[in-house]
Amino acid sequence: MVRDVPLLALSGVTKTFPNGTVALAGVDLTIQPGRVHGLLGANGAGKSTLIKILSGALAPTGGDIRWRGERVSWTRPQAPREAGVATIYQHIPLVPTLTALENILLDQRAFLRHRADDRQRIGDVVASLGHPFDLDDLAGDLPIGARQMISIAQALAGGADLVVMDEPTASLAGDERQTVYDTIRRLAREEGKAILFVSHFLDEIMALTDEVTILRDGRAVLHAETADLDEARIAETIAGRAITALGRRKTRSEPGPVRLEVDAVASPGKLAPTSFTLRQGEILGIAGVLGSGRSELMHAIFGADAHATGTVRLDGAEIGRYTDEAVAAGLALVPEDRAGQGFVPQMDIARNVGLGVMAQSGAGVRRVDAKDERRCAENAIRRLGIKTPGPHALVTELSGGNAQKVVVAKWLTDRTRVLLLDEPTAGIDIGARTDILLLVRGLADEGLPVILVSSEFEELLAICDRILVMRDGRVIGEADPNETSETDLTLMAGGGDRAPAGAPA
Amino acid sequence: MTRTDDLPRIFGLREAGVYYALLILLFALAAIASSRGLPPYLSGQNLGNIAYQASLIGIMGVAMTVMLITGAFDLSVASVAALSAAVLVGLAGSIGFVPAVFAALCTAAAIGLLNGAIVQFVGINAFIVTLGTLTAVRGLVLVLTGGRSLMVEDPDVLAQMLAFESTRVPLFIAGILLSAVLLGTAVWKRRPLMGAAGLCIGALILLAGPGFAVAAPVIYLAIFTLIMWALLGFTTIGRRLYAVGGNAEAARLSGINVHAYKLGAFVLSSVAAGFAGVLFGSRLGAINPTALQGAELTVIAAAILGGTSLFGGAGSVVKTVIGALLLFTLTNGFNVLNLGANYQGLIEGIVVVAAAAIYTVGGQRRVGKPKRADTAPDAPPVSEGASA
């Protein structure tokens, strides 16, 4: 349904920052009502800048934006919102101490609050979303999926015609994602809203969108109907090269001696007693959705859970139940939330990388060798292909994929004897993802035992020797990657009945 | 390692502002003094006085900086210092000077441990806990002293105290040497800031003249600052402290014993306050129960002037000492030049807020947009089969 006048048309939009960085080098984008438009690109391709321009947070330095055919220049966030563009960010800015209703009404201008018709109106909007939450629930008490719904409701209550969604599903579990998908489809088909959907997940782009625009290096390098594309083509266009398809690991290494023994490790209320062993050079996958206990298992093994019980032995020696003892013994954890748990924002790359070897050398006082630290960081930058001006850049200045590489680099030392990776590829672009997975495979081939937690089952199948499937805080089975399909894993991890994750079994 | 392209940052307002502020203030006051025909302001006597007046706050400020780096807060320092002084003055007559110092420092350490344990293991915010101990410890001082001033009667002990606190140390030769060492290291290691510091110290020492001497507390402050500066900058302890304050969870998952470092900062802060109290008690051999009341705010102001972040993960002990010197130069200038003591509080408050504003605005500029290292604008658009 192509109309004469598109809802929103960008032509040749550019954005150059005062420091000379060219974030957008001329982007054309046309958005039609009633259609879901996918926007893809690697980290640093310009997606975030484009979204900020559409939401009025940044002003473009050149080009033309037309809203319903009229040229507009939005320089403050209220302007696009009043015109009918609502933006839903990945990290949802809600006030946790206010109710859902109050949060939805936050951006309304009316002076008096809680008028009955407001409540009625918002109630209708929420009902049209399928009642994902109660109006009087506190936003802070709601699961993340419901909070996502609050911001969608906020967008609709504001009368938006175009809803821009920045990776709305990145932090959601399977069934919550499904709710978001259904909502998006209904908004486009039944209410004629236009959706600009930004995502890293190729499968949801394929399933959900009508047309796709791909950004690379600040330009729109591809615009096509989704039906004319396939995932491989999209992935290639994003990366700008034919990615070395991460095929399944053909040559499995010979099983070496047992290195790590996990014996009845449990955490009250979060993790049922779990036992397994890990061999030299083996990559053990943990498949599970959010809330299945996979991170809890990692933390319990790593001594990061004060309530955990059970024993962990590395090469026969029992490891203490605190992180400093685990690290000194040679365990290394790349945690799930890289900004919250992975790096220290005030420190540069070299110092963050240096944290790993420092902790592995024990708690004693030693001189910090700045030159050595810098050399290690430079090695890591080369080995992992971290895109940065140098080892003294702050990690916060890097894109997500590069920041994650810094967190991984922290543990690329001689003293790392077991590597635990908790969702190392979440929310990063396909290029960085491939780099990290190839690195992990290389480390395992050199003999390092690895545990890899991922909700990208395709990754697990590609590089793991063995896969444990977790659900509801326990291991429910083991899968052989040679004989298992992604669908099988999804069914096992999600439960055939798609029971909500974390619900009592 | 310093690179030349870092020069604008190293000498920028955010990094070096507090040094400029102190120098500008010193020379402004010197200019006013000479224009009014007063004795030279930058005399050895007066510079020594400023350093002496700033020394107690400086010692507490250095420990407070370590505290703030770990992301916590200690409001109780002035009360702890008063308690330590009371313990010293109360016990010195009966058990002797050195054992009384030991008792005073142990008392202070115990309060630090208590503060830290409540914050870490009960999980109450450090602001609230130390606000409580600020009041409670001051109450304890009143209980111990019965609300009256205490003083040391024994003349021998009094003499020991004075020797500990009021000995004057000639500093002309040492100052010239320090300046030379700084300049030498600056050239050798290519550290421009250190070179500038060497030049300034050398110039001030020459201005002060060969008779330049300072009281012992200034030396104690210098030694303490040097130790903490080296610990923070060059050892794994310092690195861990910064990591704990920058992101405690990341530090914990990197195998750092976060509790130990946070607890250690509380104990250090209290022991430093206790030492400041020992110096304060030794100064007059007497203690008034309201002594040092409100000094904790001056301590925190000095740390803020030095650019220490209240959110943890950043701060420099040297700059905190400079911040303390700046505050006491203001006070001293108002007194010596008789500029109207009524304006003093107003000016000091404005200086602190202005400093914080410079650091905040400068900080936002530093953490600007990420630079893209992968600029490849030659990528041709893939347009075949696309409905452009």
Instruction: With respect to residue A504, please indicate whether it lies within any of the assigned structural domains.
Output: no
Which residues on B lie below 8 Å from A57 (Cβ)? none
Which residues on A lie below 8 Å from B260 (Cβ)? 363
The answer to whether the Cβ–Cβ distance between A344 and B371 falls below 8 Å is: no
Work out the minimum CA distance from B68 to partner chain A, whole angstroms: 14
The answer to whether the Cβ–Cβ distance between A323 and B254 falls below 8 Å is: yes
In this predicted model, what pLDDT tens digit does every residue of A415-448 receive, in sequence order?
A: 899 999 998 987 777 788 888 998 998 899 888 9
The answer to whether the Cβ–Cβ distance between A335 and B253 falls below 8 Å is: yes
In this predicted model, what pLDDT tens digit does every residue of B224-251 receive, in sequence order?
A: 999 999 999 889 999 999 999 999 999 9
Is residue A186 very low, low, confident or very high in pLDDT (cuts 50, 70, 90)? confident
Work out the minimum CA distance from A412 to partner chain B, whole angstroms: 13
Residues A183 and A210 in one domain: yes
| Partner-chain residue, chosen from B247, B372, B382, that has the shortest CB–CB distance to A44 | B372
Domain map of chain B by residue range? 41-171+212-295
Which residues on B lie below 8 Å from A23 (Cβ)? 369, 372
Domain count, chain A: 2
Chain A and chain B share a number of CB contacts under 8 A equal to 153
Which residues on B lie below 8 Å from A413 (Cβ)? none
Instruction: With respect to residue A245, please indicate whether it lies within any of the assigned structural domains.
Output: no
Q: Count CA atoms within 13 Å of residue B350 on its CB side.
A: 6
Helix (H/G/I), strand (E/B), else coil: A258: strand
Cα(A417)–Cα(A260) distance, integer angstroms: 9
Percent of chain B with pLDDT over 70: 91
Pick the residue with more confidence: A206 or A332? A332
Cα(A457)–Cα(A442) distance, integer angstroms: 20
Q: Residue A159 carries which side chain, given as an amino acid letter?
A: G
Distances from the Cα of A474 to the Cαs of A277, A289, A334, A465, in angstroms? 16, 12, 21, 20
Instruction: With respect to residue A296, please indicate whether it lies within any of the assigned structural domains.
Output: yes
Instruction: With respect to residue A74, please indicate whether it lies within any of the assigned structural domains.
Output: yes
What is the value of ipTM here, to two decimals?
A: 0.79
Distances from the Cα of A87 to the Cαs of A77, A121, A162, B13, in angstroms? 10, 21, 8, 37
| Partner-chain residue, chosen from B238, B240, B382, that has the shortest CB–CB distance to A221 | B382
CATH number at residue A323: 3.40.50.300
Residues A229 and A271 in one domain: no
**pLDDT number for residue A190:** 85
Residues A169 and A206 in one domain: yes
Is residue B186 very low, low, confident or very high in pLDDT (cuts 50, 70, 90)? confident
Residues A270 and A178 in one domain: no
Query: Taking residues A370-391, what's their average pLDDT?
Result: 88
Work out the minimum CA distance from B160 to partner chain A, whole angstroms: 35
Work out the minimum CA distance from B354 to partner chain A, whole angstroms: 23
Residues A270 and A234 in one domain: no
Which residues on B lie below 8 Å from A19 (Cβ)? 368-369, 371
Instruction: With respect to residue A67, please indicate whether it lies within any of the assigned structural domains.
Output: yes
Residues A273 and A219 in one domain: no
Least confident of A463-472, B185-194, B317-326, B378-387: B378-387
| Partner-chain residue, chosen from B236, B254, B381, that has the shortest CB–CB distance to A366 | B236
| Partner-chain residue, chosen from B257, B313, B372, that has the shortest CB–CB distance to A344 | B313
Distances from the Cα of A33 to the Cαs of A167, A291, B79, in angstroms? 20, 36, 67
Residues A223 and A325 in one domain: no
**pLDDT number for residue A169:** 76
Identify the H or E element spanning A127. helix A116-128
Which residues on A lie below 8 Å from B386 (Cβ)? 222-224
Residues A13 and A124 in one domain: yes
Instruction: With respect to residue A276, please indicate whether it lies within any of the assigned structural domains.
Output: yes
Cα(A118)–Cα(A96) distance, integer angstroms: 21
Which residues on B lie below 8 Å from A21 (Cβ)? 369-372
The answer to whether the Cβ–Cβ distance between B377 and A365 falls below 8 Å is: no
Residues A172 and A201 in one domain: yes
The answer to whether the Cβ–Cβ distance between B239 and A324 falls below 8 Å is: no
The answer to whether the Cβ–Cβ distance between B314 and A346 falls below 8 Å is: yes
- Answer for the pair A53, A60: CB distance below 8 angstroms, yes or no: yes
In this predicted model, what pLDDT tens digit does every residue of B253-309 receive, in sequence order?
A: 998 999 999 999 999 999 999 999 999 999 989 999 999 998 999 999 999 999 898
The answer to whether the Cβ–Cβ distance between A367 and B235 falls below 8 Å is: yes
Which residues on B lie below 8 Å from A240 (Cβ)? 376, 379
- Residues spanned by the domain of A292: 258-345+415-494
In this predicted model, what pLDDT tens digit does every residue of A128-171 receive, in sequence order?
A: 777 778 888 888 888 777 888 888 888 888 888 899 988 877 66
The answer to whether the Cβ–Cβ distance between B257 and A398 falls below 8 Å is: no
Instruction: With respect to residue A391, please indicate whether it lies within any of the assigned structural domains.
Output: no
Last residue of a domain, one of A239, A271, A297: A239
Strands A8-16 and A22-31: antiparallel
- Answer for the pair B326, B351: CB distance below 8 angstroms, yes or no: yes
Residues A151 and A262 in one domain: no
Which residues on A lie below 8 Å from B256 (Cβ)? 323-324, 355, 359
Q: Which of A401, A425, A446 is nearest to A283 (CA)?
A: A446
The answer to whether the Cβ–Cβ distance between A219 and B379 falls below 8 Å is: yes
Residues A195 and A282 in one domain: no
| Tokens of residue B317, six digits | 């002990």
Helix (H/G/I), strand (E/B), else coil: A216: strand
Residues A90 and A26 in one domain: yes
